[in-house]
Amino acid sequence: MKLAPREVEAFVRRPRPEIRAVLLFGSDAGMIRERAKAIAQSVVKDLSDPFLVTTLTGAQLQEDPARLADEAAAIALTGGRRVVMVSGAGDRNAKLFDSFLESLVGDTLVVVEAGELAARSSLRAAFEECDLAVAIGCYADDQRALQSLIEDMAREAGKKIASEAMGYLLDNLGTDRMVTRGEIAKLLLYKGDDATPIGLEDCEAVIGDSSSLFLDDVAFAAFGGDFNGLTDALTRCESAGESPVAILRVAQKHGQKLHLAAGQREAGSRLDPQRLGVHWTRRDGFERQSKMWSSDRLMRALEILTDAELTAKSTGMPAAAACGDALLRIARAARVAR
């Protein structure tokens, strides 16, 4: 079964009781984990309870295909409905789940976590074609969803956020839902009992070490022609589990800011980088880059990044290769412009 985008959040908060299996997939690992936990806790509050929760991996199911049906059919010794959580699933497990969903046994809820799956994924198809199963895509928050998340967390803590602070957060928080929640929680803790609205200075003091800053490292290194810095930043992003598409989007946002600043400079005026959400520690580097790049060359760089994202999503070329190639092309162009 497929859910309309507007139905997803309501389903995650209160899954339909007749649903027996849920597949969570996409590029946002934090959102996948968060939603998997919320859905599972709608049945079992304590996910560490060994009598009610079984944790498996896609690799384990490959080695022992019967394990899934056995665990789903098991009856809890302490009573109540059970949960089976499967991580690291992929299309290699599609036949197993297709067979399992055709002949469901017991009332156990099976929650499956996967990575990015293509539109024609056989695993997705197995869940989407079953009336008692749901497949949910989990992708990086857009601006509206991110703002809603920030406002909800602030409201629950009894805090208000100034408009310039909100703008800063929207520009500087990472694309991973779990990381974002952690950063906002840290900001609320920093604010403590202070009843004044959360301001820009509060955000700069706390969000400065956000994971988004090493995503920014990629963008600044590429547009600055720093090959060594680009290699290091990409390695850190890969280690942190950032998706190539998320990296490309941060680079696109950086290029758009540079394009706006370069356009203002070419028109004889100047745009303050802070108004664009540029962190104060990056201000000097941003201004140097805005002088290196012309508006026309920045438009070409943005085309390269957009083409790379489309390639990563719609062709057989590995997403990481498409991302790396695009960023290296931009770094070479920046080196020439120095």
Residues 10 and 134 in one domain: yes
Predicted local confidence at residue 209, as pLDDT: 47
Which DSSP string do the residues of 14-39 spell out, in sequence order?
A: S--TT--EEEEEES-HHHHHHHHHHH
Q: Residue 152's domain is classified under what CATH number?
A: 1.10.8.60
Q: How many structural domains are present in the chain?
A: 3
Give the pLDDT confidence score for residue 172 in this predicted structure.
73
* Pairwise CA distance, residues 244 & 293, whole Å: 24
Could you give the CA distance from residue 300 to residue 229 in angstroms, rounded to a whole number? 22
Say whether both 216 and 329 belong to one domain: yes
168 and 191 both lie in a single domain: yes
Residues 6+ apart with CB under 8 A from 177: 28, 30, 31, 34, 138, 141, 149
pLDDT-based confidence at residue 317 (cuts at 50, 70, 90): low
Q: Supply the DSSP string of 299-325, one letter for each residue.
A: HHHHHHHHHHHHHHHHSSS-HHHHHHH
Cβ contact 16:103 at 8 Å? no
Confidence grade of residue 176 (pLDDT, cut at 50, 70, 90): low
Q: Against a cut of 0.85, is the pTM above it?
A: no
Q: Which pLDDT tens digit goes with each residue over 74-101?
A: 988 877 899 999 988 999 999 999 999 9
User: Looking at 177, 209, 241, which one is the last position of a domain?
Assistant: 209
Instruction: Give the mean pLDDT of 215-239.
Output: 87
Whether 306 and 200 map to the same domain: the answer is no
- Per-residue pLDDT, averaged over 43-67, amounts to 91
The pLDDT score that the predictor gives to residue 136 is 94
SS3 56: strand
Q: How confident is the model at residue 222 (pLDDT cuts 50, 70, 90)?
A: very high
CB burial of residue 144 (10 Å; 0-12, 13-18, 19+): exposed
Q: What is the mean pLDDT of the chain?
A: 86
* Residues 320 and 217 placed together within one structural domain of the fold: yes
**What is the average pLDDT across 107-118?**
90
Is residue 208 predicted with pLDDT exceeding 70? no
- The CATH number of whichever domain residue 263 belongs to comes to 1.20.272.10
Backbone angles phi, psi at 85, to 5 degrees: -110, 125
Based on the fold, state whether residues 192 and 239 are members of the same structural domain.
no
Looking at the fold, whether 266 and 287 belong to one and the same domain comes out as yes
87 shares a domain with 42? yes
> How many whole angstroms separate alpha carbon 122 and alpha carbon 135?
12
User: What average pLDDT score do residues 224-237 get?
Assistant: 87
Tell me, yes or no, whether 78 and 99 share the same domain: yes
Cβ contacts of 240 within 8 Å, gap of 6 or more: 211, 214
Residue where a domain terminates, one of 209, 224, 242: 209
Question: Which of 38-47, 171-180, 220-229, 322-331 has the lowest average pLDDT?
Answer: 171-180
CATH number for the domain including 91?
Answer: 3.40.50.300
Does residue 120 share a domain with residue 234? no
Q: Which domain holds residue 245?
A: 212-337
Is residue 41's pLDDT more than 50? yes
Q: Give pLDDT, residue 242.
A: 79
Task: Tell me the three state secondary structure of residue 55.
Answer: strand
Domain boundary among 193, 209, 225: 209
The verdict on 183 and 194 lying in the same domain is: yes
Instruction: Provide the pLDDT for residue 170.
Output: 80
Contact 90, 114 (CB under 8 A): yes
pLDDT at 169 over 60: yes
The pLDDT, as a whole number, for residue 275 is 72
Provide the pLDDT confidence category of residue 138 given band limits of 50, 70 and 90: confident
What's the gap between Cα 104 and its chain centre?
32
